[in-house]
Amino acid sequence: MKAFANKNKDVGYCQGMGFVSAIFLTYMDEEAAFWMLDYTVKKHKLQGYFAQAMPSLSVAFYKLQMLIKKFIPRLHHHFVR
């Protein structure tokens, strides 16, 4: 995690990365897991989920809220109450 944060200064370190890294470490050695994390974050544009203030996470939660409101209005009403 420290090596990833040093390599990707714009992203840095976030506790949420530990869960992803743990899955990779289950199946491969440390170096391969490091490069897999680096590749995954870049390929799937996850920088905004792990960066300071997590800007992409706010957008994702908003989209989820709007989908629930549209497709499951009773649940949305329950959450609002």
pLDDT tens digit sequence for 23-75: 999 999 999 999 999 999 999 999 999 988 889 999 999 999 999 999 999 99
**What pLDDT is attached to residue 48?**
92
The radius of gyration of the chain's CA atoms, rounded to the nearest angstrom, is: 16
> What type of residue sits at position 73?
P
**What pLDDT is attached to residue 52?**
87
Largest CA distance in the chain: 48
Where helices occur in 1-81 by DSSP H, the ranges are 2-7, 17-27, 30-43, 47-50, 55-71, 73-80
**What pLDDT is attached to residue 28?**
98
pTM equals 0.77
